[in-house]
Amino acid sequence: MMPGKKMGKMLAQAQKAQEKMQQEIAALRMDGTAGGGVVKATVDGEKALLDLEIDPSVLEDGDATMVADLVLAAVSDAQGKIDVEVQKKMQSLAGSLGLPPGMGL
Protein backbone atom coordinates (compact mmCIF):
# COMPACT_ATOMS: atom_id res chain seq x y z
CA MET A 1 0.00 0.00 0.00
CA MET A 2 1.27 3.47 -0.81
CA PRO A 3 2.14 5.71 2.16
CA GLY A 4 -0.60 8.22 1.27
CA LYS A 5 -3.27 5.53 1.13
CA LYS A 6 -2.10 4.06 4.41
CA MET A 7 -2.25 7.48 6.06
CA GLY A 8 -5.73 8.08 4.61
CA LYS A 9 -6.92 4.75 5.95
CA MET A 10 -5.49 5.53 9.40
CA LEU A 11 -7.20 8.93 9.41
CA ALA A 12 -10.52 7.37 8.43
CA GLN A 13 -10.17 4.81 11.24
CA ALA A 14 -9.32 7.59 13.70
CA GLN A 15 -12.34 9.61 12.61
CA LYS A 16 -14.69 6.63 13.00
CA ALA A 17 -13.23 5.86 16.42
CA GLN A 18 -13.61 9.49 17.49
CA GLU A 19 -17.24 9.60 16.33
CA LYS A 20 -17.99 6.42 18.26
CA MET A 21 -16.25 7.88 21.32
CA GLN A 22 -18.33 11.08 21.10
CA GLN A 23 -21.51 8.99 21.03
CA GLU A 24 -20.34 7.00 24.06
CA ILE A 25 -19.48 10.17 25.94
CA ALA A 26 -22.85 11.76 25.15
CA ALA A 27 -24.55 8.61 26.49
CA LEU A 28 -22.68 8.72 29.81
CA ARG A 29 -24.67 9.36 32.98
CA MET A 30 -22.98 10.11 36.31
CA ASP A 31 -24.39 10.87 39.74
CA GLY A 32 -22.81 13.24 42.21
CA THR A 33 -23.80 13.74 45.80
CA ALA A 34 -23.34 16.29 48.56
CA GLY A 35 -24.20 16.52 52.23
CA GLY A 36 -23.83 12.81 52.78
CA GLY A 37 -26.22 12.04 49.97
CA VAL A 38 -29.03 14.47 50.84
CA VAL A 39 -28.56 16.10 47.44
CA LYS A 40 -28.01 14.03 44.31
CA ALA A 41 -27.36 15.40 40.83
CA THR A 42 -27.25 13.43 37.59
CA VAL A 43 -25.40 14.81 34.57
CA ASP A 44 -24.79 13.51 31.08
CA GLY A 45 -21.51 13.22 29.21
CA GLU A 46 -21.75 16.83 28.10
CA LYS A 47 -22.14 17.85 31.77
CA ALA A 48 -25.76 18.93 31.36
CA LEU A 49 -27.85 18.53 34.50
CA LEU A 50 -30.47 15.81 33.91
CA ASP A 51 -31.88 15.22 37.36
CA LEU A 52 -31.69 16.75 40.81
CA GLU A 53 -32.94 15.15 44.00
CA ILE A 54 -33.08 17.02 47.30
CA ASP A 55 -34.00 15.20 50.49
CA PRO A 56 -36.94 17.09 52.06
CA SER A 57 -35.12 17.15 55.41
CA VAL A 58 -32.64 19.64 53.95
CA LEU A 59 -35.44 22.09 53.25
CA GLU A 60 -36.73 22.08 56.85
CA ASP A 61 -34.10 24.57 58.01
CA GLY A 62 -35.12 27.04 55.33
CA ASP A 63 -31.45 27.89 54.67
CA ALA A 64 -31.54 28.56 50.93
CA THR A 65 -27.81 29.35 50.82
CA MET A 66 -26.93 25.96 52.29
CA VAL A 67 -29.26 24.17 49.85
CA ALA A 68 -27.76 26.09 46.94
CA ASP A 69 -24.25 25.17 48.10
CA LEU A 70 -25.22 21.50 48.34
CA VAL A 71 -26.74 21.56 44.86
CA LEU A 72 -23.62 23.16 43.41
CA ALA A 73 -21.40 20.64 45.20
CA ALA A 74 -23.46 17.68 43.94
CA VAL A 75 -23.42 18.96 40.35
CA SER A 76 -19.68 19.63 40.56
CA ASP A 77 -19.12 16.13 41.93
CA ALA A 78 -21.04 14.56 39.04
CA GLN A 79 -19.25 16.72 36.47
CA GLY A 80 -15.88 15.76 37.96
CA LYS A 81 -16.79 12.09 37.56
CA ILE A 82 -17.65 12.76 33.91
CA ASP A 83 -14.24 14.39 33.42
CA VAL A 84 -12.50 11.29 34.82
CA GLU A 85 -14.54 8.92 32.66
CA VAL A 86 -13.99 10.99 29.50
CA GLN A 87 -10.25 11.07 30.18
CA LYS A 88 -10.20 7.28 30.55
CA LYS A 89 -12.10 6.87 27.27
CA MET A 90 -9.77 9.25 25.44
CA GLN A 91 -6.70 7.43 26.73
CA SER A 92 -8.23 4.15 25.62
CA LEU A 93 -8.96 5.59 22.17
CA ALA A 94 -5.45 6.99 21.85
CA GLY A 95 -4.01 3.59 22.83
CA SER A 96 -6.19 1.77 20.32
CA LEU A 97 -4.93 4.10 17.60
CA GLY A 98 -1.33 3.37 18.58
CA LEU A 99 -0.62 6.86 19.85
CA PRO A 100 2.12 7.13 22.46
CA PRO A 101 1.11 7.95 26.07
CA GLY A 102 0.38 11.65 26.48
CA MET A 103 -0.60 12.02 22.82
CA GLY A 104 -4.33 11.92 23.42
CA LEU A 105 -6.95 13.34 21.12
Instruction: Please tell me the predicted confidence (pLDDT) of residue 97.
Output: 66
CB 79 within 8 Å of CB 47: yes
- The beta strand positions in 29-91, using DSSP E, are 29-34, 39-44, 49-54
- The beta strand positions in 9-104, using DSSP E, are 29-34, 39-44, 49-54
Instruction: Please tell me the predicted confidence (pLDDT) of residue 42.
Output: 98
Instruction: Please tell me the predicted confidence (pLDDT) of residue 91.
Output: 84
User: Looking at the 3D structure of the chain, how many domains does it have?
Assistant: 1
List, run by run, the mean pLDDT of 10-residue segments along the chain (105 residues). Answer: 73 84 92 97 96 95 93 98 91 71 53
Question: Per the domain annotation, does 92 fall within a domain?
Answer: yes
Instruction: Please tell me the predicted confidence (pLDDT) of residue 67.
Output: 95
Question: Per the domain annotation, does 38 fall within a domain?
Answer: yes
Question: Per the domain annotation, does 60 fall within a domain?
Answer: yes
Residue numbers of the domain that contains 47:
25-96
Question: Per the domain annotation, does 35 fall within a domain?
Answer: yes
Instruction: Please tell me the predicted confidence (pLDDT) of residue 100.
Output: 60
Question: Per the domain annotation, does 81 fall within a domain?
Answer: yes
